[in-house]
């Protein structure tokens, strides 16, 4: 169930390689069921890598509040982010931002002292917890982006299974792990189970 820097590194590599194949698509298309565009959603993925790394950075990390970066929205309804990619650099520039921010989290997870805890809106996590929630966010938001840019996206079953065990221990264990993760995060239906409407990382879905 534990997540490591290697899991983050693999997610960064797979994400950037997959998105590179869609560089000529319409990045202003809506990202699946979300109100964000595909470009904004990928910026959010990059922002997660950076922001989560930053929480683990201080040696006396806070467990009651995040590191107080200022954040902004580029448009009403868009994601509130700490950092943004330069649109003039195009999709290739955006992917370099994802890769750079991902590398920061990989390095921080590898070097964070054992036992250090830091605040996240979903709870207080150690380095493995931040690695896990960032990988989870990346996988499901890549599903959103895949719907907008029109490419297939199916993560490894083992990775999905470990995320389910970590954050959704009450989810069905006899169903496809990826389909179950999408169901648990409100992004799909699972035969025989009610659709999940309200969910949080770490909150057990009903049904």
Residue 81's DSSP bridge partners are 72
Q: Which domain-ending residue is among 108, 133, 153?
A: 153
Nearest-angstrom CA–CA distance, 91 and 89: 7
Question: Do 121 and 195 belong to one domain?
Answer: no
Question: Do 134 and 165 belong to one domain?
Answer: no
Phi, psi for residue 124 in degrees, rounded to 5? -110, 120
Question: Do 195 and 145 belong to one domain?
Answer: no
Please list, in sequence order, all residues whose beta carbon lies within 8 angstroms of the beta carbon of residue 42, skipping any fewer than 6 positions away: 19, 27, 85, 94, 95, 98, 141, 145
Query: Each residue of 150-203: pLDDT tens digit?
Result: 999 999 999 999 999 999 999 999 999 999 999 999 999 999 999 998 999 986
- For residue 80, the domain's CATH number is 1.20.120.450
pTM: 0.95
Asked if pLDDT for residue 7 goes beyond 80, the answer is yes
Asked if pLDDT for residue 204 goes beyond 80, the answer is no
Query: Each residue of 98-151: pLDDT tens digit?
Result: 999 999 999 999 999 989 999 999 999 999 999 999 999 999 999 999 999 999
Q: What is the predicted pLDDT for the residue at 206?
A: 46
**Measured torsion, CA atoms of residues 90, 91, 92, 95, in degrees rounded to the nearest 10:** 130
**Rg value, the chain, Cα:** 16
Question: Do 140 and 198 belong to one domain?
Answer: no
Q: Which domain-ending residue is among 134, 153, 172?
A: 153
Q: Which domain-ending residue is among 153, 176, 191?
A: 153
Question: Do 90 and 132 belong to one domain?
Answer: yes
Element at 157 (helix H, strand E): helix 157-167
User: Per the structure, how many domains does the chain have?
Assistant: 2
Question: Do 37 and 53 belong to one domain?
Answer: yes
Asked if pLDDT for residue 207 goes beyond 90, the answer is no
Question: Do 12 and 111 belong to one domain?
Answer: yes
Question: Do 109 and 173 belong to one domain?
Answer: no
Question: Do 91 and 109 belong to one domain?
Answer: yes
Q: What is the predicted pLDDT for the residue at 2?
A: 86
Q: Is the distance from CB of 109 to CB of 8 less than 8 angstroms?
A: yes
Q: Is the distance from CB of 207 to CB of 198 less than 8 angstroms?
A: no
- Which residues span the domain enclosing 184? 160-207
Query: Each residue of 45-100: pLDDT tens digit?
Result: 999 999 999 999 998 889 999 999 999 999 999 999 999 999 999 999 999 999 99
Question: Do 40 and 74 belong to one domain?
Answer: yes
Question: Do 108 and 174 belong to one domain?
Answer: no
Question: Do 111 and 9 belong to one domain?
Answer: yes
Nearest-angstrom CA–CA distance, 102 and 17: 13
């Amino acid at each position: 169930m534990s997540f490591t820097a290697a899991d983050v590194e693999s997610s960064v590599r797979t994400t950037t390689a997959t998105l590179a194949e869609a560089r000529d698509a319409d990045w202003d298309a809506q990202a699946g069921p979300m109100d964000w565009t595909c470009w904004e959603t990928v910026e959010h993925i990059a922002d997660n890598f950076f922001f989560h790394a930053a929480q683990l950075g201080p040696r006396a990390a806070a467990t009651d509040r995040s590191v107080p970066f200022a954040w902004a929205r580029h448009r009403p309804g868009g994601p509130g982010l700490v950092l943004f990619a330069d649109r003039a650099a195009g999709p290739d520039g955006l992917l370099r931002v994802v890769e750079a921010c991902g590398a920061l989290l990989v390095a921080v997870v590898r070097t964070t002292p054992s036992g250090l805890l830091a605040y996240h809106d979903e709870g207080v996590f150690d380095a493995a917890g931040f690695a896990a929630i960032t990988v989870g966010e990346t996988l499901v938001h890549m599903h959103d982006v895949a719907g907008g840019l029109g490419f297939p996206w199916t993560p490894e079953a083992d990775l999905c299974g470990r995320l389910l065990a970590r954050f959704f221990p009450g989810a069905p264990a006899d169903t496809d792990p990826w389909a179950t993760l999408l169901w648990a995060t409100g992004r799909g239906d699972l035969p025989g189970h009610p659709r999940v409407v309200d969910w949080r990382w770490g909150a057990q879905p009903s049904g």
